[in-house]
Amino acid sequence: MIKSATDSTRKVNLLISVDWTTIILYFLLVIIGWVNIYAAVYNNEYQSIFDISQKYGKQMLWIGAALFIILLIFITDSNFFSFFAIFVYIITIGLLIAVLLFGKEVNGARAWFEIGSFRLQPAEFAKLAACLTIAKLLSFLNPKTHIIRNWVLILGMIGIPAALIILQNDTGTALVYGAFVFVLFREGWVSTKFLFFGVLVIVLFIATLITDPLFLVISLIVLSLIIFGAMRRRLKEFSIVTGIFIVSGVLFYAINYALKKPFELHYVFAASALLASIVCVIINIQIKIANAITIIAMLIASLSFTFTVDYIFDKVLSEHQRLRISVLLGMETDLKGAGYNVHQSKIAIGSGGFLGKGFLKGTQTKYDFVPEQSTDFIFCTIGEEWGFLGSTIVIGLFVALLLRIIFLAERQRSHFSRIYGYAVASIIFFHLTINIGMTIGLAPVIGIPLPFFSYGGSSLWAFTMLLFIFIRLDASRLELLA
């Protein structure tokens, strides 16, 4: 499976066919990340960026090891990654189980093997194994046949490592596996309606927490009626249903008031909505009944969901998860506790202005106001020292990398290579979006690194392997993979 180093023809062909644009983008991101780690933990007593007693010196060692990993990937036959995908997955699952039994607990998560001063996090490499396995699986399965069996296999492959990572108390890393929905969408396993439904559930969950129940119920009903009217395109029917909703609402409210309000007010409006929905079915009993029933079902499901959100929030989520969500949504202000990191990060990024304070001149960074500023909150260093312009350039590099990966994925002849490319893009996109969202207060703090930037060997090596395996597959795109 390994190509001989003496095979000069093969080496020359690989150098020609490899995508240097992606490689250049990778090294730009890694080098900029290394420099920002230096700025984030700068110590006047250890000014050399090559000092291995400091984090920036150790990161240099991880980068050097990453170069060796890249070399190994390039001299490996491209069929190796497809052929041994399941084997790599099994080994990774074994490591995830082993770390639960023998791993070291750090910040409440038992997710690391400690070897001397070095820590290895198997969960980072589990994402690579999942990408390879999903690519292998989807390249053989047909989304239109054996649907139940295939979905059990796919969800099992994604769910097993995610569940083991949750047991490690590392929920943030487990959530990354949700990024595979983009891969399933590209390959025809997930429809646009499913994505819309997923977004709707998220929006509805947030809206239920931050808005008055009565306002939310009214909004859902009005939205349903608008959709119904748009689909039917008949003003008369729309007016009838709307009128029934209003009249029944007033009637139910009057009865409720006469009975000295034994029910919550939003139940009154829910009953009105149900009556209006029944009328919709009657009107459309012969014409486009499917559309009406679909809308009514969505309305009833949405109303039911809103009534259960409080239970989920209070009984299912842990205390620290509830607190983080409450701070994110502005329901609580905890600047000395759960909201401290984000508050300080926003101050750091905002103080950078357009051009930034300059290299090594960030006060929030220099005086350690932002915890985890070399790992999860590395982006605040970029914002403070390089400002809006520098932040835009860094995000632009990431976007360019993602677009390049998608472009390369679309030109693959192998199903395995294309699916794997989309898996890589999805994982990087999820990390990029959530990590930067954390630092500016638009996403909950779930503790995931910024690819190629955050300090740590496990993260850097895992993302390097993810990317360069795809680069290696692309370099052999004219070959048919197993």
Q: What mean pLDDT comes out for the span 197-206?
A: 73
Least confident of 94-103, 124-133, 152-161, 279-288: 279-288
Sheet holding 109-115, edge to edge: 104-106, 109-115, 118-120
Looking at the structure, do residues 19 and 163 belong to the same domain, yes or no? yes
- Asked if 347 and 261 sit in the same domain, the reply is no
More confident residue, 7 or 168: 168
How much is the average pLDDT of 209-216? 64
326 found inside a domain: no
Domain boundary among 316, 351, 367: 316
> pTM above 0.85?
no
**Model pLDDT, residue 342:** 79
Average pLDDT on 227-246 reads 62
286 with 423, same domain? Answer: no
Among the ranges given (90-94, 111-115, 396-400), the one the predictor scored with the smallest mean pLDDT: 111-115
For the stretch 138-147, pLDDT in tens is 988 887 777 8
Please give the pLDDT value at position 44: 80
pLDDT band at 263 (very low <50, low <70, confident <90, very high): low
Mean pLDDT confidence for 332-352: 73
pLDDT at 12 > cutoff 60: no
More confident residue, 478 or 455: 455
pLDDT beyond 60 at 161:
yes
Closest C-alpha to 434, from 422, 426, 445, 423: 445
Span 198-212, average pLDDT: 70
Q: Please give the pLDDT value at position 65.
A: 95
Q: Is residue 321 part of a domain?
A: no
Q: Inform me whether the pLDDT recorded for 1 exceeds 50.
A: no
In a domain, 323, yes or no: no
Residue 241 predicted with pLDDT over 80:
no
Residue at which a domain ends, from 316, 345, 380: 316
Asked whether residue 173 carries a pLDDT value surpassing 80, the answer given is yes
Q: Are residues 45 and 164 in the same domain?
A: yes
Number of domains making up the chain: 2
pLDDT tens digit sequence for 79-110: 899 999 999 999 999 999 999 988 888 777 78
Q: Are residues 231 and 355 in the same domain?
A: no
**Looking at the domain assignment, is residue 322 inside a domain?**
no
Q: State the maximum Cα–Cα separation within the chain, in Å, rounded to a whole number.
A: 93
pLDDT for 283: 56
| Half-sphere exposure in the Cβ direction for 238 (13 Å, CA) | 14
pLDDT band at 36 (very low <50, low <70, confident <90, very high): very high
Average pLDDT, the chain: 80
Q: What confidence tier does 332 reach under pLDDT thresholds 50, 70, 90?
A: low
Q: How confident is the model at residue 264 (pLDDT cuts 50, 70, 90)?
A: low
**pLDDT band for position 226 (cuts 50, 70, 90):** low
Same domain, 390 and 269: no
Give the range among 18-22, 86-90, 175-179, 345-349 with minimum mean pLDDT.
345-349
**Residue 341: which pLDDT band, with cuts at 50, 70 and 90?**
confident
Question: According to the per-residue pLDDT averaged within each range, which of 4-13, 111-120, 415-424, 437-446 is highest?
Answer: 415-424
Shared domain check, 176 and 38: yes
* Domain hosting residue 366, numbered range: 8-190+334-475
Residues 273 and 305 in one domain: yes
Q: What is the pLDDT of residue 4?
A: 44
End position of a domain, from candidates 269, 289, 316? 316
Same domain assignment for residues 139 and 226: no
pLDDT of residue 8: 39
Q: Is 329 among the domain residues?
A: no
Asked if residue 442 belongs to a domain, the reply is yes
The verdict on 259 and 301 lying in the same domain is yes
Is the per-residue pLDDT at 6 higher than 50? no
109 found inside a domain: yes
- What pLDDT, on the 0 to 100 scale, is given for residue 293? 61
Position 389 in a domain: yes
On whether both 33 and 159 belong to a single domain, the answer is yes
Q: Do both 291 and 157 map to the same domain?
A: no
